[in-house]
Structure 1
Amino acid sequence: MHTSELVDTIDARMLGPLRLTVGARSAVPSATKPRSLLALFALNPHRQLSTGSLITELWEECPPRRAATTLQTYVLQLRRLLAEASGMESPEVAARLLRTVNSGYVFTPDDLYVDIHGFHQLADRAEMSDRAGRTAEAATLYRTAEKLCAGSPLIDVQHGPMLRAEVVRLEHSLLCVTERRIAMELRLGYHRAILGELASLTAQHPFHEDFHAQFMVALYRSGNRTGALEVFQRIRGAMVGEFGLEPSRKLQELQYSIMNDDGALDLPIAS
């Protein structure tokens, strides 16, 4: 490939196992530390990453004596894989795609798709649709964002400090997107359709008050008031037993409303 030619779109998938392809060709190494390095570069395109920060990411507080030299070897492996996948020569990859700059490296693809960035873009669009009152559109966008996830983020990659922080942030964002999508679906009257999902979510997240509140509302609207109250008692027992804390006032008020068959919990009648 000549230097004037464009490299195919680089497609990086990290919402699940790590995948990085150029066209249809994979550039993911099999070794643990080069995989971590590739994930870090793909998450930080056009941003210089210092040698010191990369060494800390790969070895944390116990780097080997020749860590900088070993890091260079890993970068050479990545350049070779990127060259094979793109049809470029390794020196061209070093000059155009994975460059050495000052005391670090920078990944500079012309055309890069990262599923994590796509996820955040969809979530932002969904939030704007919700604010504009387009509830069904918001629910669809949130669900589309969720479908990008093929498992726990970077599930097959070793996490150093930077990747660990990114994974924690992503897991929180995924939960928020699921909670917002369910809120939209409750508003649209899909309470019966999401009962099974909410049963699973509350089992997976026994202290997540928003999921429990949504499950209580969905059960109540499905005609199962006793089931809704049992959900409250279950989270209350877990919170008191584990932390000595009562559920939030919001959740307690929801329990009171269900006990008193408060019509405010019913879906508004479409005009």
Structure 2
Amino acid sequence: MDIGILGALDVRENGVSVTPTAPKPRQVLALLALHADRAVTVETLTEELWGQRPPRSARSTLQTYVMHLRELITPALERTGHGTGARTAKQVLRTVPGGYLLDSGEGTSDLREFERLAASGYRAMDVRDHPEAARLLRTALDLWTGPALADVPAGEYLRPQIRGLEESRLCALDRRIEADLRLGRHHELIAELTVLAGRHPTHESLCGQLMLALHRSGRRSDALGAYQRLRTTLVRDLGLEPSAALGELRRSILAAPADDTPGPLAQMG
């Protein structure tokens, strides 16, 4: 089974889509796919679908959704000639004590591949292999086709899970940009960082990276302007001042020659 989570939900058995169109079965499959090869309890699925006040029919309705998913899996197995002598739908979507488990059968998962590549990229950063880090992290980020589970209605359990995935994406992006900056790709990064800083107006690391890219491109006033925009937003929305590291970066830009690299960038990462 091939599982796509980093964008629209896309689950395929032997290349055939088994992703339902109905919202609640889609939620069930999304939650099982997110935890592929691990059990998901009936309680977790029920909370995801109906929150803290499930209907009395919740358990039987959940069983109906599982049955519907198996009905989608069965023809996918049969159409590819795997319906007999191999796995059945009940072996792909298994009933386990207290819940259900989606058995990927050693298939692919874009989430697992992202995590593998990102971890390798972080290790490359740790040993200062910035070209390899930039390559690995860029490859990891290319797996994303949009917001995680973009077309799935998220309930009380999926919402924080999706936020966590997006934080992982932003962390990988932050480190990839840091690697590119250390490789001297300042001019190339300005447009991307300008968009990201606008999208995440209180993210200090992205602001610091934009400041550095602008400064190293001979745009000191624009770099200082980026700092001021962040400070204004932080004070207005959160009642906070920028961090000491970002303030030191600003002072370094004020004091440094235009072609010098301010020192505190590494401390901000």
Q: 2:60 aligns with which of 49, 66, 69?
A: 69
* Whole-angstrom CA distance in 1 between matches of 2:227 and 2:96: 56
* Match of residue 35 from structure 2: 44
Q: Please tell me the residue identity of whatever aligns with 1:203.
A: G
* Match of residue 132 from structure 1: 127
Deviation string, structure 1 residues 84-129 (Cα, Å, up to 9, x no partner): 112227x9321x2112223322222322211111111110010111
* Whole-angstrom CA distance in 1 between matches of 2:118 and 2:11: 23
Question: Higher mean Cα deviation, 233-242 or 145-154?
Answer: 233-242
Corresponding residue SS for 2:187: coil
| CA drift at 1:160 | 2.1
| CA drift at 1:264 | 4.5
Q: Please tell me the residue identity of whatever aligns with 1:72.
A: Q
* Whole-angstrom CA distance in 2 between matches of 1:112 and 1:159: 25
CA contact (8 A) 2:7 2:150 kept: yes
In the superposition, the TM-score normalised over structure 1's length comes to: 0.90
* Whole-angstrom CA distance in 2 between matches of 1:139 and 1:253: 26
* Whole-angstrom CA distance in 1 between matches of 2:95 and 2:236: 54
* Match of residue 74 from structure 2: 83
* Match of residue 262 from structure 2: 265
Q: 2:157 aligns with which of 153, 162, 166?
A: 162
* Whole-angstrom CA distance in 2 between matches of 1:134 and 1:241: 39
CA contact (8 A) 2:216 2:261 kept: no
Matched, 1:246 2:244: no
Deviation string, structure 1 residues 223-248 (Cα, Å, up to 9, x no partner): 11111111111111111222222111
* Whole-angstrom CA distance in 1 between matches of 2:26 and 2:123: 35
In the superposition, the TM-score normalised over structure 2's length comes to: 0.90
Q: 2:92 aligns with which of 97, 104, 107?
A: 97
RMSD: 1.6
Corresponding residue SS for 1:193: helix
* Whole-angstrom CA distance in 1 between matches of 2:249 and 2:220: 12
* Match of residue 5 from structure 2: 14
Identity of aligned residues (%): 40
* Whole-angstrom CA distance in 2 between matches of 1:127 and 1:102: 38
Structure 1 residues 237 and 109 mapped into 2: Cα distance closer, same or farther (>3 Å)? closer
Corresponding residue SS for 2:207: helix
Show structure 1 runs of 5+ residues with no match: 1-9, 267-271
* Match of residue 232 from structure 2: 237
Deviation string, structure 1 residues 50-75 (Cα, Å, up to 9, x no partner): 22221111111231221111111100
* Whole-angstrom CA distance in 2 between matches of 1:236 and 1:102: 53
Q: Please tell me the residue identity of whatever aligns with 1:78.
A: L
* Whole-angstrom CA distance in 2 between matches of 1:48 and 1:170: 20
* Match of residue 113 from structure 1: 108
| CA drift at 1:265 | 2.4
Question: Higher mean Cα deviation, 206-215 or 104-113?
Answer: 104-113
CA contact (8 A) 1:34 1:75 kept: yes
Question: Higher mean Cα deviation, 187-196 or 98-107?
Answer: 98-107
Corresponding residue SS for 2:242: coil
Matched, 1:190 2:185: yes
Q: 1:147 aligns with which of 142, 154, 174?
A: 142
* Whole-angstrom CA distance in 1 between matches of 2:229 and 2:94: 55
* Whole-angstrom CA distance in 1 between matches of 2:238 and 2:104: 48
CA contact (8 A) 1:206 1:235 kept: yes
Q: Please tell me the residue identity of whatever aligns with 1:35.
A: R
Deviation string, structure 1 residues 115-172 (Cα, Å, up to 9, x no partner): 1111111100101112222110100111111111111100111112332121011111
Show structure 2 runs of 5+ residues with no match: 264-269
* Match of residue 6 from structure 1: none
Matched, 1:35 2:31: no
* Whole-angstrom CA distance in 1 between matches of 2:237 and 2:46: 39
